[in-house]
Structure formats: C-alpha cells, structure tokens
Structure 1
Amino acid sequence: MATPEIPEKQKAVIYDRPGTVSTKVVELDVPKPGAGEVLVHLTHSGVCHSDYSIMTNGWKGLHPTPPGQVGGHEGVGKIVKLGPGTESSGLKIGDRVGIKWLSSVCTNCQPCQAGLDGACVNPKISGYYTPGTFQQYALGPAHYVTPIPDGLESGAAAPMLCAGLTVYTGLKRSNARPGQWVVISGAGGGLGHIAVQLAAKGMGLRVIGIDHGSKEGLVKESGAEYFVDITKFPVDDDGKAISAHVISLAGGLGAHAVIVCASSNAAYAQSVKFLRFNGTVVCLGVPEDKQPIATACPATFVAKNCHITGSAVGNQTEAKEVLEFAARGIVKPHFRTEKMDNLTRVFEELKGGKLQGRIVLDLS
C-alpha cells in the first residue's frame, strides 16, 4: 500500500483548564514515530468517565493533570507510518488498530508477566501525561496497539477498548458460571450496558441490572432478566430494602457475583449485601473520594465466605477476545457520535449521570 500523505498539523482537543469541565480544540504538530512506534490516523475516540475524572483532577491520589493535556484512551484508526525497529511487529501501513487506556506497558515486570497489565509498575496511560486519543494523529507502541477485526465498524470498536475490556476482564475475575446470577450496578452506563450484554449473551449468566429508572429500556434490551430502579428504594435504611429485593430476584439466596460499574460509594456499600454465600464483588468503577465501603466488615465475609476483588482493564489477549465478541455481533455498544467541538458539553452530560451508553467522537 502506498504511504498516505501525512499533514504537518492536526486538530486535537486539550484540557485547557484542568480542575474544571472545560476543553478546547487546538492545532498541534503531527508527531513523528520514534523507535518501536507507529503513527495512527485516528478516526474515532470513545469518551469515558475516567477522562472526566482526569480532566477535573477528581482522583485525589493522582498528580493533577497538566494544562494542554490531550485526553482520551479509546482511539481507533489506521497506521500511516512505521517507526524504526517495527519491522518484526507484523504491522503494516493501512492496518486498523486501537489505542487503549494503557498506551503501553513494560512487559518485563512481574504483573505484566502474570498477564495483569493493569498493575504494570511502569505503564504509560493514554490521556494522562501521555498524549491521548482526542486528536487526529497519535503515536502508539507497535507491541501494544490492538488490531481491530475487519467486521467491526470503527465507531463501535472504540468503546470496546476500555469499557468493553474492563467489564470483560471483571466478569472473568468474578468466576461466575453459566446459569448463575450476576448483579451489574450501573447497568445502563457506558461500562454497564456492555457488561450486561457480555454476561447475558456472551457468557450465559442471568443478569440483574441496577440503575436509574430512565435507563431501564437500555438495560433490558441489553439482556438483563430483571431491572432494579434505584430511585424506588429508600436511601436511609442501610440498603435493607433494595438488598432484600435483589436477593429475592436471585432465587432467594442472592447473587453469585456483583460487578460494580458505578463510581459511587453507595453502590459499593450495597454490593456485599446482594451476595450469596461464596459470592464475589468485583470493583470496577472508581469513586472520586476515598470513603471506605460501609458494609465491608470482617464478620460479613466470615459469615458469607464471600470475596471482594478489583480489576483494572485487561491484557492484549483479553482485548482481542472482547473485540471478537463485538465483531460477531454478540455485543453491540449503544453509542452516540459527536464532533470534537462538543466535548465540553458531553462531559457536562457525563457529570449529570443521566447519559445512556457511550459517546464516541468523530475526529474528522
């Protein structure tokens, strides 16, 4: 394939006032790939709640985001230039690839060698001190960009690179088996609606989705057997009413697993109450404060013989696996396409918590 013409300048979206909900479309130089890198002409990028948290400096444990940071970590596009040392990568110009939350991992540390890329001791995070995917051209390491299956449209592929990968890995870590009950908290959100589809349609699990009542249609359409509207239950009873209802839906014993996609402490406080004996809570959503889970006392774990575990994104093999679910039509991300200029408004929607599914930026 002939080498595409590469411009000198490109459009990008930056966080112009970190700590606030504010973005700005600017013109930047198109980067040149160094050793081991490829240059990707991006056409689409998903928008994630993690982007919002980085932009607003919401995660207090992280260094504040610098002004001018290019955000984004769900980018899809075609390789237009190969850097030195990429000859053995198997990549070629024209290949369609994705750039993920983890732009790169070292591959040498013990977590990487154990397949736990999310715990890499020397990662690069796309959109946080590494230029992200809210731009038309981005660099990616040849060893870590993810091939996009031919049958999967780029807009639909973008959410699978973070939202899809994160929930897929979390469902695997839950150890839930076909026919067992799984509760998905935040089931109508960007992560949640994909988790429902993977669980119900891809893994044969029986799903109870929990979210705001406005998202019931999307959650049931995604494959949930039952929907629980959080607004129908009191907030001052220590979760007794909602947990009793969920337990009754799950055969009277409770769920085998609870996948917490929501980023609220209330969701975590309820999660352990939904479990049956030997069940597992999987932590995916990251609250912006550090309040502990109210129900996570030793007596609960002893009495139920239950478990709590965390899961951070996934590795390259898992990324390829979850993209195949989408390519086969088992998972169909619900998304709306927006232009780069509308990103601030999109983040304002995301802040309100009423957004259904995912937003994907058209980077043209």
Structure 2
Amino acid sequence: MATKVEGIPSEMTAVQVVEFHKPHQINTVPTPKELGDYDVLLKTAVASLCHTDSMVVEGMFPKGGLPRTASHEGTGTVVQVGAKVKNFKKGDRVMSGIPRNQCQTCFNCKGPDDWHQYCENCEGMIGVFRADGAFADYHVADARTSCKVPDDVSLIDAAPLACAGCTIYRALIVTECKKGDWLAMVGAGGGLGHLGIQMANAQGFKVIAIDARDEALELCRKAGAEHVFDARKGQDEVVKQVKELTGQDGADATINLSEHETAAPLACAVTKMHANMIQVSQPAVVNIPFAELIFRDVRVKGSLVAGQEQSRDMLSMVGKSKIKVETNVFKGLKEVPKMVELAHSGKMKGKAVCVVDESQV
C-alpha cells in the first residue's frame, strides 16, 4: 500500500535526460507524491557524476523512457519512509542504493548478497532506467539496497561511493586476492581506480597501477600506489616491467577499469597464468586475444556493484582506513552542466560531485 508523502514542497529542481544524445536539462518537476512499502524519501545532500551517466545520455539504457532524472550516486537525509521500512528512520544519513524494488523471487534475488544486483525484474535503477536519480532536491531510494552513512564518512565522500566505491569494492572481492598478493589495475587513475588503490592497500595487497594520462598517473601516486606504470609505453614494455617486479609470474589478479580497446588485452597480459582478470569497464565489445584465454588460461570475470552487506562493509572500511575520495566539488544543481564538461575534458582527477543541499554537509 502506497504511503502519501507529506511536509515537502510540491515542486523541486531536477537535472534530467529529456532526449538521448542531448545535454541534460534543468527542470522544475513535481516532488515524489507516494512511497512504496520499502521506499525511503531522501532530501538530497550530494549527488555525484559517474561514467554511466554519459551512457544513459547516449541511450544505452532505454528501458522506461524519458525524461529521467540523472545520477545514481546520491546521499541525503531521510524525510519519510514506506510502510514496511524498519532499517531507516527520519533524520538518518543515507547512501542511496542503485536498484529499486527487486523482485525478491528470481534466482538472483534468492542468491548471495551481491547477486541481488543482477535481478532482471527490478523496478529500475535510480538515474539509469525506470527510476529517477539523485540530481534533484529530493529522491527516492530502496531501503533494501541503501546504507546508513557512518559518522566518520562525510556525505560528500559517500555519494561517489554509491556506485564507484561499491563497484571497485566488489571487484576486489572477485579477484580472490589475499594479503601479500600482487594486484594490477589497468585504468587505475580514475574515479574507481584511486579508490581501489586505497582499498587494496588497506587489505594488504601489493598494488601495480597502470594508466595512460599524466593526470591519472599523478592520482595513482597520490592514492598510494607504490608501483605506477605508463601504458603509453606499449604493452610489451608494461608486461616486461610487471614481470620484473613480480618475479616473472605477473600479477596474481588484475582489474580492468579502462574502456580503451587495448586495455583488456593489456590487463590479461600482465596477469599470471590461471589467474583472474576482472572486467569492470563497459565498452560495447571486450576484445581479448584467444591466446590469453586458452594458452595462458587467464580467467576473465565480469563484476557489477556490491550488495547491501558488502556496501556496509565498504563504508566501514572507508571510515576506519581513512580512505580519501578525490572530489571536484560543485555547488548547486545549476552547476551540473559544468561538471559534465569537466568530466568529458579528460583533465578531471577523481570524481565530480554536486552539493545539492549545503546545510547537510
């Protein structure tokens, strides 16, 4: 049974995708009027920009139609909860979960915590399809996928963690690395990579960071990567450097965070035989030489985002290990077009975040 929303303005500002392949529009729209049983209404504090937002603009997630309020990386304070919500109350600081209303009946929903994200029957993904996102004064999240933000994590830092942090944290789990193992990251100097470097260091992995932009290589070092290699030197040279560092075996596992056509082959090539290469980036096609798969038996696995329990663990790690999110802060929803411009320039270090409600941060 729907719960009527009370005590908030009838209209709000929202940044929306109105037409595919066109810039976001800043619109005045109705505020949410009803909540489902497991919905949580948040007064948005911070909303972050993710690469997936550009994929939404380009029409790669057409389900549910337009307009669609953007951003699936949001934080805020609980204003009201649905009838069956038990884990949140008014005033709680929350990091929004991305999935909305998973079916709870398919084999993914009945499987492990991090399988729930693969539900093909969910109502939608906020800011992506069928569900509006966090680039608005208020947004609705699902209590079954969202997390309370610990006191030692700021709402500014927590917003990018809703996707970037949850994604790289799960990828680290999927590598099956243990303390002391060599972990390589291709595309390590971006929003996910600089978090992954710090999380890997916190778990005792030996990190090899690989990227191809000066700004990215600088961010790798700032994030704490001791071994940083420039992919512009070519695959043969990078593989040689990694093998010299690791005793000729290669990395015990590799995470690929780059969409460049050479990234997946490089990620496999620096990985030792019979080990895991985790594909996180989402190019239209992932091209991998057959020799890596067959003659070297590199195991390629895809990885999406963490489940709710893993997300809680990730937030706890961020707070306890003092992991720093590199942010480019913009104030007010009207600044979102500038955020997008910076993100597309190739000069941005870390994540672009929009402070929607300064009083909360």
Q: Is TM > 0.5 for Structure 1 vs Structure 2?
A: yes
Per-residue deviation at 1:306? 2.5
Aligned-partner Cα distance in 1 for 2:116–2:341: 31
Q: 1:185 to 1:324 in 2, by over 3 A?
A: same
User: 170-179 or 30-39: which moved more?
Assistant: 30-39
Show the counterpart of 1:96.
Answer: 93
TM-score (norm 1): 0.89
Show the counterpart of 2:210.
Answer: 210
- The answer to whether 1:275 aligns with 2:271 is yes
1:72-221 residue pairs with structure 2 within 5 A? 72-86=71-85, 89-115=86-112, 116-123=115-122, 124-127=124-127, 128-200=129-201, 202-211=202-211, 212-221=213-222
Q: 1:143 to 1:331 in 2, by over 3 A?
A: same
1:222-261 residue pairs with structure 2 within 5 A? 222-231=223-232, 233-234=233-234, 239-261=235-257
Match of 2:15 among 9, 13, 20: 13
Aligned-partner Cα distance in 1 for 2:345–2:265: 21
Per-residue deviation at 1:77? 0.6
Per-residue deviation at 1:139? 1.5
Instruction: Determine if contact 1:24/1:341 at 8 Å carries over to the other structure.
Output: no
Per-residue deviation at 1:305? 3.3
Instruction: Determine if contact 1:185/1:258 at 8 Å carries over to the other structure.
Output: yes
Instruction: Determine if contact 1:213/1:230 at 8 Å carries over to the other structure.
Output: no
Q: 1:118 to 1:91 in 2, by over 3 A?
A: closer
Aligned-partner Cα distance in 2 for 1:347–1:260: 23
Q: 1:105 is matched by which residue type in structure 2?
A: Q
Per-residue deviation at 1:227? 0.8
Q: 2:120 is matched by which residue type in structure 1?
A: V
Show the counterpart of 2:311.
Answer: 319
SS at match of 1:300: helix
Aligned-partner Cα distance in 1 for 2:142–2:205: 36
Instruction: Determine if contact 2:98/2:141 at 8 Å carries over to the other structure.
Output: no
Aligned-partner Cα distance in 1 for 2:82–2:250: 53
Aligned-partner Cα distance in 1 for 2:270–2:72: 32
Per-residue deviation at 1:82? 2.2
Show the counterpart of 2:287.
Answer: 293
Q: Which runs of 5+ in 1 are unaligned?
A: none
Instruction: Determine if contact 2:15/2:25 at 8 Å carries over to the other structure.
Output: yes
Instruction: Determine if contact 2:184/2:251 at 8 Å carries over to the other structure.
Output: yes
- The answer to whether 1:348 aligns with 2:341 is yes
Aligned-partner Cα distance in 2 for 1:322–1:44: 19
Q: 1:343 is matched by which residue type in structure 2?
A: V
Instruction: Determine if contact 1:4/1:80 at 8 Å carries over to the other structure.
Output: no
Q: 1:216 to 1:48 in 2, by over 3 A?
A: same
- The answer to whether 1:40 aligns with 2:60 is no
Q: 1:38 is matched by which residue type in structure 2?
A: V
Show the counterpart of 1:328.
Answer: 320
Instruction: Determine if contact 1:180/1:256 at 8 Å carries over to the other structure.
Output: yes
Q: 1:279 is matched by which residue type in structure 2?
A: A
SS at match of 2:42: strand
Instruction: Determine if contact 1:32/1:39 at 8 Å carries over to the other structure.
Output: no
SS at match of 1:39: strand
Cα shift readout 1:212-237 (whole Å, capped 9, x = no counterpart):
22222321121212111223x14xxx
Q: 1:106 is matched by which residue type in structure 2?
A: C
Q: What is the percentage of aligned positions where both structures have the same residue?
A: 25
Per-residue deviation at 1:326? 1.5
Aligned-partner Cα distance in 1 for 2:252–2:217: 22
Per-residue deviation at 1:109? 1.6
Instruction: Determine if contact 1:18/1:66 at 8 Å carries over to the other structure.
Output: no
Q: 1:227 to 1:4 in 2, by over 3 A?
A: farther
Cα shift readout 1:233-282 (whole Å, capped 9, x = no counterpart):
14xxxx32322222223332210111111222221121111111221100
Aligned-partner Cα distance in 1 for 2:53–2:130: 12
Show the counterpart of 2:261.
Answer: 265
Instruction: Determine if contact 1:79/1:92 at 8 Å carries over to the other structure.
Output: yes
Aligned-partner Cα distance in 2 for 1:327–1:16: 37
Aligned-partner Cα distance in 1 for 2:125–2:197: 27
Aligned-partner Cα distance in 2 for 1:117–1:175: 20
Q: 2:170 is matched by which residue type in structure 1?
A: T
Aligned-partner Cα distance in 1 for 2:20–2:263: 27
Aligned-partner Cα distance in 1 for 2:160–2:222: 18
TM-score (norm 2): 0.90
Aligned-partner Cα distance in 2 for 1:343–1:152: 23
Per-residue deviation at 1:354? 3.0
RMSD: 2.0
Q: 1:204 to 1:79 in 2, by over 3 A?
A: same
Q: 2:247 is matched by which residue type in structure 1?
A: G
Q: 1:70 to 1:11 in 2, by over 3 A?
A: same
Aligned-partner Cα distance in 2 for 1:84–1:251: 58
Cα shift readout 1:48-71 (whole Å, capped 9, x = no counterpart):
0001111122x3xx4378442101
Aligned-partner Cα distance in 2 for 1:119–1:259: 20
Aligned-partner Cα distance in 1 for 2:34–2:147: 17
